[in-house]
Amino acid sequence: MPDVLDTSVFVHPTAVCESTTVGEGTRVWAFAHVMDGAVIGRRCNICDHVFIESGARLGDGVTVKNQAMVWEGVTVEDHAFVGPGVMFTNDHYPRSRRMAAVAARYAHKENWLLPTTVRRGATIGAGAIVLCGLTIGRYASVGAGAVVTRDVPDHRVVVGNPTRIAGWACYCGVPLNGTLHCPQCARRFKMSGDTLVEAG
């Protein structure tokens, strides 16, 4: 991508967008801050008061609702939904870096930085907190207020602090019924081993 923002990118007058790697049609709303070096795809919607740090990567069509914070080390794939106030993390044992006792640990990123990936089409509900070194699977759905402490398989619904499994989600986000049909869009699924796959 070029060194200037695509003219189709909208940046609200109160927002700070320092990144020049923002795809066409993306919108950055009030009081949001996208740091230099953050990579943002096309047609994303970055809502008010969001923070996206250098080194974070978002695919195309990602929605990042108000106040969500996306740090270095976090990758969000196409069409994922990052809910309002969602907090990622990238360090299991954070301390203030001004403290001598942690100088050695923070001297090298490999000592503390753990990546997290949100796969295509997944949802992270309002106010959920995602510990680091994890993967949220494709079309998975993390409930509002959940604290995600382990990987979430594709299409899985998880809720609670710490998260527990609560069902399966369709592509459209609606929970599947007991026969793995979606009451919203009529898609049918079946199990293939431990994996949910679309049927027929």
| Distance in angstroms (rounded) separating the CA atoms of residues 195 and 19 | 38
Is the peptide bond preceding residue 162 cis, with omega within 30 degrees of 0? yes
Q: Is 110 in the site for a copy of itself (CB under 8 A)?
A: no
Residue whose token pair is 């996206």: 52
Judge contact between 48 and 65, C-beta under 8 A: no
Range in contact with a copy of itself (rule: CB under 8 A) among 3-11, 154-162, 191-199:
154-162
Q: In this complex, which beta carbon is closest to a copy of itself, that of residue 2 or of residue 43?
A: 43
* Cross-strand partners of 198: 189
Q: Is 27 in the site for a copy of itself (CB under 8 A)?
A: no
Q: Is 31 in the site for a copy of itself (CB under 8 A)?
A: yes
| Distance in angstroms (rounded) separating the CA atoms of residues 103 and 98 | 8
> Which stretches of 32-86 are DSSP H helices?
none
Enumerate residues 6+ apart whose C-beta is below 8 A from 163: 142, 143, 146, 147, 148, 149, 150, 152
Choosing from 2, 93, 178, 200, the residue that interacts with a copy of itself (CB under 8 A) is 93
Supply 96's token pair: 């203030």
Nearest approach, Cβ of residue 132 and a copy of itself (Å): 9
* Cross-strand partners of 159: 164
Judge contact between 71 and 94, C-beta under 8 A: no
Residue whose token pair is 């403290």: 99
Range in contact with a copy of itself (rule: CB under 8 A) among 3-11, 171-179, 192-200:
171-179
Q: Is 115 in the site for a copy of itself (CB under 8 A)?
A: no
Nearest approach, Cβ of residue 29 and a copy of itself (Å): 8
Nearest approach, Cβ of residue 200 and a copy of itself (Å): 17
Pattern 41-60, a copy of itself, x by CB under 8 A? --xxx--xx-x--------x
Q: Which residues are at the interface with a copy of itself (CB under 8 A)?
A: 14, 16, 30-31, 33, 43-45, 48-49, 51, 60-63, 66-67, 69, 79-81, 83-85, 87, 89, 93-99, 101-102, 104-105, 121, 123, 125-127, 129, 131, 141, 144-145, 147, 160-162, 169-175, 184-185
